[in-house]
């Protein structure tokens, strides 16, 4: 039976009135008829009502005690997480040829306010990305003849010319949804960025600005890189990825012979972890005399774009503004290097707001003081708290995880990030702030939530100051990618459900339930389902491997529409990193996605009188998609289709028969995918049930569904024959001849 907290007093209003009436003969025997409407009876009901309200408040004491007990457990609620993304900042003034460095924590505005995480040097240049796209030569006699001529013209000897077309990528600063592969899609395995001055007249001034910073050192170019999201190969190893060796180079010209030179650039800072995650690389540019670009006019530069030269720019307007070329190339052989976006003057931003130098309270000299900060979901790493001490002014106090570990004279405090409160010591465990001393926040960053998950193009303005604190006008912002990762703060109800589980697993993954709960609590990802497969090694499909645990995860998807949800690599890596710190040392951990078995279904039904045909047919389609859905709401029990459970036609018939408006089910047929075709599933004997078996790591994915009324289910998934097709002809597209 469920555990229900007992009521301290369970008497109701009627119980109280009846009890008072029963006491009348003992205390006032002369009152022989306390009927309804009698003034005395009215007074009794009034006091019964007052007592009932007091009992209601008294029965809240168990709730208060429970919350007080949870607070004594010293497990704070989880704060909100901020959304993050990359933005590119550019100068909105074509006459500006000098670089400007803006301070960190500049405000980037849109529907929600974001802040830059680091300082940024905004260079007076624009970037256009290009790659050398190969041309197919097979079967084109005219192209083959042209290649022979080029081989003689460029004196290539025995080397075969490889034709290419200079092709823009990330046009207009927009991201590539499917990703650009600089290994598979190019002839030279390079990505080229043309660095352009705002106007042709400003090329030399911009080159001088790139060659030297205001402080006299190297100028820094911030390049944002976003690797393409991918769904990893099934059962691929998920863990920290190896950094990709790569090199950034900038072009120059040899002062003697004028040949193109490539100068390697030092990476001063790298938040991409070697091109494995979205971030920014800051590159140190050389002096201005080393920056140049070869010519693009083949009349004066016959080798333009040939061999290792930068791609030839045939647009005269872009060529006139060209300052230099920036090249990215891998240093080791790779199968693929897919990128979603690359841009310059990039900076990481997150949905937080900063508060500087604000007095937030005054010490009362008591032990265990608690002070409310001017914000919730406070970033613990950046908080700077200062306490005014006699004769010393404001002194910085440090943050500590547990005041019980502090000495009596330690100037420490403890932060509750979600609530935005700080607690000081009691004089034995941590110092008490001096009586009357003011408490000041030097820096506080707070904010976060799902409201920050804004689409691309939402952030469009920036308010920034330079290193001297002066406002920087005429800046514009481009947001090529959506902001992601924002999560709301934990609610009290969610914390009450989580805290008992925390005391069961002690933040350590030992049992199957521990792995499931801890994976579901991974910060920064939203999971729709978690399954744990003990003793299963995914690469060998070994179900009896000792010391192995595989955790299968599905991302959250609200609507049951194809395709089924698949976890991408960042999701799997986040879950793996969260569990890897909590697993036993000898346990071999894998975090994997699900293998889906393509499934086709055809259904024949009869429709009840008075029901709309299209409404019923759509209801059957929706019911089958929901029944075979892998997340909540799917499956026989409503918590997703179970692993290792076959799909049977009789179970689908039951699901179809439950749809309102279905009078009868004429049959259900199952189909398997065979190459590009669908093959019907045959039962062991004619008339026996059909089923599609599922392995321990497999679930069905309904990719084709045909529902028909008043006829038997089709034997193929074309549904009904096309009335517009002829039996004696095949439709073939024809390209008409056009005269120019």
Angstrom distance (rounded) from CA 163 to CA 161: 6
Angstrom distance (rounded) from CA 604 to CA 707: 6
Looking at per-residue pLDDT, the higher value among 545 and 54 belongs to 545
Query: Average of pLDDT values for 28-41?
Result: 83
Terminal Cα-to-Cα distance of the chain (whole angstroms): 86
Fold of 353-446: Immunoglobulin-like (2.60.40)
SS3 396: strand
Determine which helix (DSSP H) or strand (DSSP E) holds 572, and give its type and residue range.
helix 569-580
Angstrom distance (rounded) from CA 423 to CA 369: 6
Angstrom distance (rounded) from CA 79 to CA 418: 4
Looking at per-residue pLDDT, the higher value among 606 and 306 belongs to 606
Query: Average of pLDDT values for 127-150?
Result: 69
Looking at per-residue pLDDT, the higher value among 256 and 368 belongs to 368
Chain-centroid distance, C-alpha 633: 24
On the question of a cis peptide bond just before residue 734, with omega within 30 degrees of 0, the verdict is: no
CB atoms within 10 A of CB 658: 12
How many residues in total does the chain contain? 740
Q: List Cβ neighbours of 61 (8 Å cut-off, separation of 6 or more).
A: 8
Q: Are 121 and 220 in contact (CB under 8 A)?
A: yes
Query: Average of pLDDT values for 19-30?
Result: 85
- Output DSSP code: residue 12: -
Angstrom distance (rounded) from CA 429 to CA 388: 20
Query: Average of pLDDT values for 613-621?
Result: 92
- Which among 262, 316, 317 has a CA at the least distance from the CA of 290? 262
Q: What is the pLDDT of residues 114-123, one digit of tens each?
A: 999 999 999 9
pLDDT tier at 720, thresholds 50, 70, 90: very low
Angstrom distance (rounded) from CA 85 to CA 582: 29
Directed axis angle between helix 613-627 and helix 649-657, to 10°?
A: 130
Q: Are 20 and 47 in contact (CB under 8 A)?
A: yes
Domain boundaries, the chain: 13-72, 124-230+243-344, 353-446, 492-592, 595-709
Alpha helix positions (H), 101-153: 141-153
Angstrom distance (rounded) from CA 144 to CA 443: 67
pLDDT tier at 740, thresholds 50, 70, 90: very low
- Output DSSP code: residue 229: P
Identify the pLDDT of residue 558.
Answer: 84
| Beta bridge mates, 466 | 102
Q: What is the pLDDT of residues 145-165, one digit of tens each?
A: 555 655 555 555 666 667 788
Identify the pLDDT of residue 563.
Answer: 87
Quick check: 106 pLDDT over 80? yes
Quick check: 257 pLDDT over 50? yes
- Work out the mean pLDDT of the chain and round it to a whole number: 85
Angstrom distance (rounded) from CA 659 to CA 641: 19
């Amino acid at each position: 039976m469920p555990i229900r907290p007992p009521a301290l007093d369970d008497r109701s209003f009627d119980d109280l009135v009846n009890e008072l009436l029963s006491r009348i003969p003992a205390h006032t025997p002369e009152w022989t008829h306390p009927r309804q409407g009698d003034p005395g009876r009215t007074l009794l009901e009034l006091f019964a009502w007052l007592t009932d309200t007091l009992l209601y408040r008294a029965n809240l004491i168990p709730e208060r005690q429970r919350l007080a007990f949870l607070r004594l457990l010293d497990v704070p609620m989880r704060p909100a997480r901020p959304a993050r993304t990359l933005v590119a900042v550019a100068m909105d003034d074509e006459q500006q040829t000098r670089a400007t460095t803006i301070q960190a924590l500049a405000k980037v505005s849109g529907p929600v306010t974001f802040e830059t995480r680091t300082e940024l040097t905004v260079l007076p240049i624009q970037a256009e990305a290009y790659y050398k796209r190969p041309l197919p030569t097979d079967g084109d006699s005219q192209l083959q003849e042209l290649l022979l001529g080029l081989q003689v013209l460029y004196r290539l000897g025995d080397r075969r010319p490889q034709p290419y077309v200079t092709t823009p990528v990330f046009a207009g600063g927009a991201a590539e949804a499917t990703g650009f592969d600089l290994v598979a899609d190019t002839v030279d395995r390079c990505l080229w960025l043309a660095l352009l001055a705002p106007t042709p007249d400003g090329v030399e001034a911009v080159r001088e600005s790139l060659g030297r910073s205001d402080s006299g050192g190297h100028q820094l170019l911030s390049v944002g890189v976003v690797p393409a999201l991918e769904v990893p190969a099934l059962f691929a190893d998920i863990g920290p990825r190896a950094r990709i060796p790569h090199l950034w180079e900038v072009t120059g010209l040899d002062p003697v012979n004028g040949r193109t030179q490539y100068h390697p650039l030092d990476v001063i800072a790298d938040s991409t972890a070697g091109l494995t995650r979205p971030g920014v690389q800051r590159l140190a540019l050389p002096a201005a005399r080393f920056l140049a670009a070869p010519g693009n006019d083949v009349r004066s530069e016959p080798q333009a774009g040939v061999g290792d030269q930068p791609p030839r720019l045939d647009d005269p307007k872009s060529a006139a503004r060209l300052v230099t070329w920036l090249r990215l190339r891998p240093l080791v052989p790779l199968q693929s290097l897919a990128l979603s976006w690359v841009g310059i003057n990039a900076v990481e931003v997150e949905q937080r707001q900063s508060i500087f130098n604000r007095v937030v309270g005054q010490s009362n000299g008591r032990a265990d003081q608690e002070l409310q900060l001017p914000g919730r979901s406070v970033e613990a790493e950046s908080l700077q708290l200062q306490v005014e001490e006699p004769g010393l002014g404001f002194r910085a106090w440090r943050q500590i995880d547990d005041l019980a570990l502090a000495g009596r004279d330690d100037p420490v405090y403890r932060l509750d990030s979600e609530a935005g409160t700080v607690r000081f010591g009691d004089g034995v465990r941590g110092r008490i702030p001096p009586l009357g001393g003011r408490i000041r926040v030097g820096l506080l960053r707070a904010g976060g939530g799902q409201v920050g998950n804004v689409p691309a193009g939402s952030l469009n303005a920036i308010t920034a100051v330079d290193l001297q604190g002066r406002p920087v006008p005429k800046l514009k912002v481009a947001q090529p990618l959506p902001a992601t990762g924002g999560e709301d703060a934990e609610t009290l109800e969610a914390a009450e459900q989580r805290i008992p589980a925390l005391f069961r697993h002690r933040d350590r993954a030992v049992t199957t339930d521990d792995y499931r709960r801890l994976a579901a609590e991974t910060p920064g990802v939203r999971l729709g389902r978690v399954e744990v497969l003990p003793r299963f090694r995914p690469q060998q499909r070994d179900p009896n491997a000792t010391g192995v645990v595989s955790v299968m995860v599905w991302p959250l998807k609200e609507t049951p529409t194809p395709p089924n949800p698949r976890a991408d690599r960042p999701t799997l890596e986040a879950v793996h990193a969260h569990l890897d710190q909590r697993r036993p040392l000898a346990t071999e951990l894998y975090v994997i996605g699900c293998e889906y078995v393509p499934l086709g279904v055809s259904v024949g039904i009869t429709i009840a009188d008075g029901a709309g045909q299209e409404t019923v047919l759509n209801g059957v389609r929706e019911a089958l998609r929901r029944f075979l859905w892998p997340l909540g709401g799917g499956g026989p029990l409503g918590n997703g289709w179970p692993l290792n459970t076959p799909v049977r036609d009789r179970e689908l018939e039951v699901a179809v028969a439950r749809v309102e408006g279905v009078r009868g089910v004429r049959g259900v047929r199952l189909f398997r995918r065979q190459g590009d075709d669908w093959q019907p599933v045959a039962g062991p004997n004619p008339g026996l049930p059909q089923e599609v078996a599922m392995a321990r790591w497999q679930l069905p994915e309904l990719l084709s569904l045909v529902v028909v009324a008043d006829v038997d289910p089709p034997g193929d998934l074309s549904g009904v024959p096309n009335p517009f097709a002829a039996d004696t002809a095949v439709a073939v597209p024809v390209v008409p001849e056009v005269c120019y």
